[in-house]
């Protein structure tokens, strides 16, 4: 069986999730990829933390060059987070002929064309299913079996933290501050939740979705973005009286004249809308194509296992290609 080696950059929640999935589903992954997939090197400073799984100490390195320069490493998974040094590392991995997989929407959205072009120039794959909607396989659908469609609209609940906060405000009449506090306690919000509650995380995801669905890259700074910090219990109550709910929606629309509209903002949705019942930390993407009409994809938008499912799914798809080209 063809051996495929992965270099993992980052052993936090997502790296650990991916590592555990390969351990837990080794046979299934071998059957589905036709390859013997292994983690060969892990870039991570914290080698001693209890991750709930034993990781051989000799896998760890603190030197990214040990991944770039290892000719046996086929694929690099980047889950360091943050724009730098993650972006530099991904581009460097591509220049060393490694296929690159990432969950890093901030990095992709900040410099989409550079990633795509560098991958092309070096004849490597660049996959990022995990960057939008966690485990929800929306990007692969857009780029493969929905390829006979011209997409007209995308509406997404793309951030679990803000959806959790809005759900609790709606269900229990909580204030924003109280709901945020609860989200922090439950682990659904970061100690510094700015990127989530101000909508920047969603803007990154809208940028990635538009690049794939509309073949147009818009920098997230150019996407009008309003978060949820101004949402009051009164506004939510008023929406209820109109049989609506308030959701933070990432929106991208292609008009008939080809012009694009895009935004991140709280929206009032009728309770009949398929997105209205997407609650708590769940994410969903509602997408319309001129052939398929309306579709919705729903699932967990974060977490080590759901996001690891997307990362390892990308590994499997690349491993299949490596095996085919090897024949």
Catalytic residue IDs: 205
The CA distance from 44 to 23, in Å, is 19
Nearest-approach distance from CB 152 to a second copy, in angstroms: 12
Nearest partner of 224 among 186, 257, 265, judged by Cα: 265
Contact pick of 35, 73, 91, 315 for a second copy (by CB under 8 A): 315
* Contact between 69 and a second copy per CB under 8 A: no
User: Measured from the CB atom, is 96 or 320 closer to a second copy?
Assistant: 320
How, if at all, do strands 151-157 and 244-254 pair?
antiparallel
Task: Copy the structure tokens of residue 20.
Answer: 């555990």
Please report, as residue ranges, which positions from 202 to 231 form the binding site for a second copy (by CB under 8 A): 215
6: β partners: 39, 75
Contact pick of 76, 141, 248, 267 for a second copy (by CB under 8 A): 141
User: Measured from the CB atom, is 25 or 178 closer to a second copy?
Assistant: 25
Candidates 84-92, 221-229, 241-249, 292-300; binding stretch for a second copy (CB under 8 A): 292-300
Nearest-approach distance from CB 226 to a second copy, in angstroms: 27
How, if at all, do strands 35-43 and 2-9 pair?
parallel
* Contact between 22 and a second copy per CB under 8 A: yes
* Contact between 34 and a second copy per CB under 8 A: no
42: β partners: 8, 60
Provide the 3-class DSSP secondary structure of residue 7. strand
User: Measured from the CB atom, is 193 or 303 closer to a second copy?
Assistant: 303
Contact pick of 153, 268, 296, 323 for a second copy (by CB under 8 A): 296
Nearest-approach distance from CB 127 to a second copy, in angstroms: 9
* Contact between 157 and a second copy per CB under 8 A: no
Contact pick of 1, 3, 28, 224 for a second copy (by CB under 8 A): 28
Q: How far is CA 192 from the centre of its chain?
A: 19
* Contact between 308 and a second copy per CB under 8 A: yes
Candidates 74-82, 86-94, 250-258, 313-321; binding stretch for a second copy (CB under 8 A): 313-321
CB 46 within 8 A of CB 11: yes
Q: How distant, in Å, are the alpha carbons of 6, 150, 215, 283, 286 from that of 293? A: 38, 10, 19, 20, 10
CA atoms within 13 A on the CB side of 166: 36
Nearest-approach distance from CB 292 to a second copy, in angstroms: 4
CB 288 within 8 A of CB 294: yes
* Helix or strand run (H / E) with residue 297: strand 293-300
Please report, as residue ranges, which positions from 158 to 197 form the binding site for a second copy (by CB under 8 A): none
Contact pick of 6, 86, 310, 322 for a second copy (by CB under 8 A): 310
DSSP letter for 257, please: T
Crossing angle between the packed helical segments 160-172 and 233-241, to the nearest 10 degrees: 70
Nearest-approach distance from CB 29 to a second copy, in angstroms: 5
CB 99 within 8 A of CB 110: no
Q: How many residues bind a second copy (CB under 8 A)?
A: 52
User: Measured from the CB atom, is 55 or 141 closer to a second copy?
Assistant: 141
Q: Compute how many other C-beta atoms are within 10 angstroms of the C-beta atom of residue 218.
A: 18
* Contact between 243 and a second copy per CB under 8 A: no
Contact pick of 2, 182, 229, 297 for a second copy (by CB under 8 A): 297
Burial of 213 (0-12, 13-18, 19+ CB in 10 A): buried
Q: Where does this chain bind a second copy (CB under 8 A)?
A: 17, 21-22, 24-25, 28-29, 31-33, 129, 135-137, 140-141, 143-150, 215, 274, 277, 289-300, 303, 305-306, 308-310, 312-317, 324
């Amino acid at each position: 069986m063809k051996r495929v080696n992965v270099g993992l950059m980052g052993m936090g929640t997502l790296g650990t999730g991916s590592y555990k999935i390969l351990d837990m589903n080794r046979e299934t992954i071998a059957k589905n990829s036709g390859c013997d997939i292994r983690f060969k090197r892990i870039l991570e400073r914290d080698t001693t933390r209890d991750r709930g799984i034993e990781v051989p100490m000799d896998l760890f390195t603190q030197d990214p060059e040990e991944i770039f320069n290892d000719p046996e490493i086929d694929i690099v998974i980047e889950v360091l987070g943050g724009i730098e040094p993650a972006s530099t590392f991904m581009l460097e991995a591509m220049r060393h002929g490694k296929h690159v997989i990432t969950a890093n929407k901030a990095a992709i959205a900040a410099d989409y064309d550079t990633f795509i072009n560098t991958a092309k120039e070096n004849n490597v794959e660049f996959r990022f299913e995990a960057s939008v909607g966690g485990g929800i396989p929306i990007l692969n659908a857009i780029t493969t079996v929905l390829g006979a469609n011209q997409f007209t609209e995308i509406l997404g609940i793309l951030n679990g933290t803000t959806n959790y906060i809005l759900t609790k405000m709606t269900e229990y009449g909580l204030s924003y501050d109280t709901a945020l506090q609860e989200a922090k306690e439950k682990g659904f919000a970061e100690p510094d939740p700015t990127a989530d509650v101000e909508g920047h995380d969603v803007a990154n995801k809208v940028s990635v979705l538009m690049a794939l669905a509309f073949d147009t890259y818009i920098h997230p700074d150019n996407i009008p973005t309003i978060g949820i910090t101004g949402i009051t219990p009164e506004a939510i109550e008023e929406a209820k009286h109109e049989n609506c709910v308030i959701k933070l929606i990432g929106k991208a629309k292609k008009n008939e004249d080809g012009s694009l509209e895009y935004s991140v903002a709280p929206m009032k949705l009728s309770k009949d809308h398929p997105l209205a019942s997407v609650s708590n930390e769940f994410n969903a993407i509602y997408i319309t194509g001129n052939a398929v009409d309306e579709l919705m994809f729903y699932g967990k938008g974060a977490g080590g296992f759901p996001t690891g499912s997307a990362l390892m799914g990308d590994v499997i798809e690349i491993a299949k290609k490596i095996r085919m080209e090897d024949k």
